[in-house]
Structures are given as C-alpha cells and as structure tokens.
Amino acid sequence: MTKAATVTQAVTTRRSVREFLDKPVPYDVIRRVMDTARWSPSGCNYQPWQAAILTGKALADFRALIADKPMGQLEYSWDAPGAHEEYKARLGCVSAKMFEAMGIARDDGPGRMAAMLRNKTSFDAPALLLCYFPKFMLEPQWSDTGMWLQTVALLLREEGLDSCFQEFMAFYAKEVREFLGLDAEETMFFCGMAIGYRDPDAPVNNFERERVPLESQVRFLGFE
C-alpha cells in the first residue's frame, strides 16, 4: 500500500487490515510515528496512554504465552452497543462482508471461530502495540487514549504502514500484564494494535466497507 500523502488520504485508506506481508517494520519508522503521536489531543494535558511495541523474539514469546490459553474474563465491555438493533445491524453488515471475502459461510461456526482466533497472532503482523494506562483514569482519559490510537493509525498510513485495532486482546489482559511486568491492581490493559505492511491482494483487505450517511449523525446549525 502506498503512503498517504494527505490527512484525507490517511483517513480514507485506513482500514482494519487482517493480512500482512512478511516484511519487518523498521525501528526508526515506528519510533518516528510514536514520537509524533505524542502531540495527539489530551484533556488537561494528562496524556494517559502508555504502550509497549513488540516485534521479533519479544513478539514470538508473547504469542507463545497466549497460544494455548483460553480467552479470559473481560475487564470492560466493548460490545454493549450490540444489544441495540441499530448498532447490531452495523456489526452484522461488516461481519457478513468480511466473512464473505474470506470464503467463510454464514453457518460455518468453526470457520468463523478460527478466523476470530487469528487475533491471537495479530493476523501474523510483524509488530504489535499493546496499550494500557493507570486504572484510575476514567471516561475522558479513555477517550484521549482513543484519539492517540487514531493518531498512531493515521501516522502509520503516512509511512505506508497499516494496522488493526484489537480489543480482542483484552481477553488476555492478565497475560499481557504478566508479560510486560505490569501491576494488575494499578494497570488497565485496553487493546492491541497489529502493525505492518498490508497484503494488497488479500480479499479480507479489500471488501467494500460502509458508513452511515452523514445526515444521520451530524446536524449543521446556523450556517447560511
């Protein structure tokens, strides 16, 4: 995938990539991205986000740690909107298109589970960002962390890289903290982010995505 030359290109070409090329992410590139991302918006300048980025042996060791572990108990809910039909339909739409692109039938339960469990290896991405912050941070700081993660994703596109946000990794919060030596009483693990170079030929990276119409989400008041 070519580099994004503008913010607009970065926004519109960013997507959740689930097939990566076997190509390492250079240290100087990822460090540059993370250094620039420090300027992401932060209410009260708290800058709550923290992360570890794994590659090479460190990433292989982490994957080995969780390979045979069952999914644990989530410490926060990421799928609550699915209880409401409007939002459930949005999830159903993108899921259907993704599994169709992968050639997995709707009634193929084992196939769908196997596809989901590829999250364990972050879809074989060459790098993995693990995001966490102190447990005393509340909703505004979670929002700040989300803005930081989005900033990282867009800067990755500027460098010709891609990513996939992985709230799935929250099922392994215990193992993440163990691996990184984080205090379980003091640290909230948030999510992972697979990072690497997109496989441009993989069908799962090319299915058409949808967004709801602008007018259903935004009102413009007082404009001439």
Give a yes or no: residue 99 inside a domain.
no
- What is the domain count for the chain? 1
Give a yes or no: residue 202 inside a domain.
yes
- Please count the other Cβ atoms lying within 10 Å of the Cβ belonging to residue 170: 21
Place of tokens 């999830």: 91
Provide the CATH number for the domain around residue 36.
Answer: 3.40.109.10
Q: Which residues contact 171 (CB under 8 A, 6 or more apart)?
A: 71, 72, 74
Q: What is the pTM of this model?
A: 0.96
Residues 88, 92, 97: CA angle, nearest 5 degrees:
160
Domain region containing 62: 7-73+120-208
pLDDT tens series, the chain, 224 aa: 789 999 999 999 999 999 999 999 999 999 999 999 999 999 999 999 999 999 999 999 999 999 999 999 999 998 899 999 999 999 999 999 999 999 999 999 999 999 999 999 999 999 999 999 999 999 999 999 999 999 999 999 999 999 999 999 999 999 999 999 999 999 999 999 999 999 999 999 999 999 999 999 999 999 98
Give a yes or no: residue 45 inside a domain.
yes
Give a yes or no: residue 189 inside a domain.
yes
**What's CA 186's distance to the chain center, in Å?**
23
d(CA 92, CA 86): 10
Q: Which residues contact 47 (CB under 8 A, 6 or more apart)?
A: 38, 144
